[in-house]
Structure 1
Amino acid sequence: MESPRARRRRRTRSSRRRPFAVLALASVLVAGGTAAGTAYVKARAHADAGAVSSSSSVTPSVSAPTRQEASVEPAARPSVDRDALLEKAMRAVSVEDGADLAVAVLDMDTGDSATYGEGTFDTASIVKVDILATLLLQAQDAGRRLTGQERTWAAAMIENSDNASASALWTAIGQAEGLDRANARFGLTDTAGGDGALWGLTRTTAADQLTLLQQVFGEDSELSGPSRAYLRGLMGGIAEDQRWGVSAAADGSGWALKNGWLARSTTGLWDVNSIGRITVGGHGRLLVTLSSGNSTKEKGIALVEAAARAAVAAFA
C-alpha cells in the first residue's frame, strides 16, 4: 500500500510535467495554425494572381475593337461614271450640222479614262505618230537604230507634218500591212491602214488613238524607253503654226501633240483631228479629239479645241 508521502511525491511530479505537455500542445496548435494560415495566404494570393491574369487577358479583348477601328483604312474613292460626265460635257460643245465628233481622255495619275463617240474617222496626219511608232518597233525587232535618213524623215514628218517624208516612211514600214501588224501588238483593235499609198485615209477610233498614246507616253509599252523618249521629243517640238488642237486645254507649254487635217475631195468637208499629252494643274492627261464633216478647217480646229477644253473640265 502506497504511503501518504509517496502519493504526495507522485502528485508533485505529475503537476510538474503538465505545463510542458500543455506548452507542447499549444505549440502544435500554433504551428498547425501557422501552416494552415500560410496555405490560406498562398492559396489566396494564387487566386488573386489568377484574377489579375484573367483580368489582364480580358483587357485586350475589350480594347481590341478600339485598335481595330483606329486601323481601318479610309473608304475607297467613290466610283464615278467618267463616260457619263464626258458625254454631258460634249453636249455643251457646239457641233455643226452634219459634223461628227469623238473624244477620249485618260488621267495619267489615276488611270481614269472616258470615251465619247464610237464611230471611225479618217486619221489624216495623226497617223504619222503611228507610222513612226511602227518604224521604231520594227527597228527594235531587228536590233538596230534608225538610219540618219530615217531620222531626218521622222523629224520632218512629226514636227512639220511633211507629207513626202510620211510617204517615204509609209513605204519603209510596209504600208498598211506593216502598220496593221504593229497595231495588233500595240493593242489597237479598230484601226485599219489606208489602201496603197493613201496613209491619210487610215481609219481609226478615239479609243484606239488613246491606246496608241499610252504606248508612247505610258510605261507598259511595246516600245522601248529610248524609242518612247524619241517620239515624245518630236511631238513636243511641233512647228509653231501647228500648235493648236489639244494644246488649247494645256497649262502653258505643257503639251506634246500631233494634228491632222484633210479636205475630202468627194464632199469638200474637212477632217480635223488632234492627239497628244497635255499638263493641266500639274496633272498629265492623254487626249484625243477626232472630227469630220466640218465646213472649213478653221471650224474644225475650233471644234476640237472646244472639245479638248470640255473634256479636261469634265475630269477636273
Structure 2
Amino acid sequence: MSSRISRTARTRTGALAASAAALLSAGLLHPAPAAAATPPAKTPAHATAAVLDLDAPGSTPVVRGADRAYDTASIVKVDILATLLLQAQDEGRRLSARERDLAEPMIRRSDNAAANALWRQIGRAPGLAAANKRLGLTATTGGTGTKWGLTRTTAGDQIRLLRAVFDSGGSAHKGSGGLDAKSRAYVRTLMGRVVPEQTWGVSAIGGPGSGKALKNGWLQRNTTGLWDVNSVGQVTVAGHRYLVAVLSDGSASMSDGVRLVERAARSAVA
C-alpha cells in the first residue's frame, strides 16, 4: 500500500510540475517575484520661515532656514491679485464686477478655476514678473504656461509681497510704484476673510482677536507623492503686527506639512 501511495504521489507531483511548466511557457503563469529591493531612505521635509515686525523701528526680516526657492502652490494667488490690481491702476480704473467675482473666491476659498482665469488675464508669468519687479520681488519665477502653482519663490520674497500689501506703501503711479491704498485694503480684506477650514498655518500664532489675514497653499507632487505646504500672512501678537511667510516641501502628508508650517511659524515669531 505504501509503495502504491508513493508512486501515486510522485505521479501527481510530476503532472503538476509539467502543467506549471506548460503554463509558464505560455505566459499564463508568472514566476514568483524577486524579493523587493530595500526602499530608499525618506527625504526629510524642509521649511523656511521669514518674519518682519512692522511695528519695530528699523525692523528687517528675520529668516530661519535656508532662504531657497520653493513651489508656491496657491499662495501665488495673492501675487496674481496684486498683479491684477496694478494693471487696473495703470488703466486708471478699479476692478470690474467680473474681476471681483473671480478674485474673491480665488483668495477666500482658494478657487483654482478663478485663478486659471486671472492668470490668463494678467499675462501669465511675464505679467507676474513685470508686477513683481515693481513690488520689489527679486527671487520669484512664474510657472510655465498654465502652471501658476509651480511658480517658484522664497520666504524673503513673500515678505516683500506681504509688505507691499500690509505696510503703508510708497508712491503709486501709472506704470510705476506699488499698490495704492484702495488696492492694499482690498487684498487685506480678502485675506482676512478666508473660509474657516483654510485658516491654518500662520494663523496658529497668537490667540483670539489677533487680526489674522492669510493665504495658504498645498500641493502633492506627482513624481514623489510628497507635499508642498505653505502659509503667508499677517498676525498681531502683543500689539505688534508681524508679517510671516513659511514655505515647506517634502512632507509625507498634507497634515504633516501643516504641522511643520505651524511649528516653524510659532518658532519664528517667538
TM-score (norm 1): 0.68
Map Cα deviations across residues 210-256 of structure 1 (whole Å, 9 max, x no partner). 00000000113410000000000000000010010000012314200
Q: Quote the Cα distance in structure 1 between the aligned partners of 2:206 and 2:245.
A: 13
Task: Name the counterpart of 2:32.
Answer: none
Match of 1:191 in 2: 140
Per the alignment, residue 269 of structure 1 pairs with 226
Deviations along 1:253-286, one digit per CA (max 9) or x if unpaired, are 4200000000001110000000000010111000
Where 1:143 maps in the other structure, the secondary structure is: coil
Query: Residues of 1 paired with 2:63 and 2:237: CA distance?
Result: 19
Structure 1: distance between partners of 2:149 and 2:203? 22
In the TM superposition, 1:174-189 aligns within 5 A as 174-189=123-138
Q: C-alpha displacement at 1:97, in angstroms?
A: 4.7
Q: Which residue of 1 aligns with 2:4?
A: none
Pair 1:304-2:261 in alignment: yes
Rounded Cα–Cα distance in structure 1 between residues aligned with 2:237 and 2:51: 13
Aligned length: 218
Query: Equivalents in 2 of 1:112, 1:180: separation in Å?
Result: 24
1:242 matched residue in structure 2: 198
**Structure 1: distance between partners of 2:60 and 2:126:** 32
Structure 1 or 2, whichever has the larger Rg, is 1
- Which structure 2 residues correspond to residues 27-106 of structure 1 after superposition, within 5 A? 97-106=43-52
Unaligned runs of 5+ in 1: 1-95
Gaps of 5+ in 2: 1-41, 171-177
**Aligned ranges 1:105-184 → 2 under 5 Å:** 105-110=51-56, 111-116=59-64, 117-184=66-133
Output the CA distance in 2 between the equivalents of 1:217 and 1:302: 26
Residue 213, structure 1, aligned to residue 167, structure 2:
no
| Aligned-partner SS, 2:264 | helix
2:91 aligned partner, one-letter code: A
Counterpart of 2:120 in structure 1: which amino acid?
Answer: T
Q: What letter is aligned with 2:252?
A: S
Give SS of 2:125's match. helix
For the residues of structure 1 that align with 2:208 and 2:112, how far apart are their CA atoms?
28
Name which structure has the greater RCO, CA cutoff 8 Å, separation 6+.
2
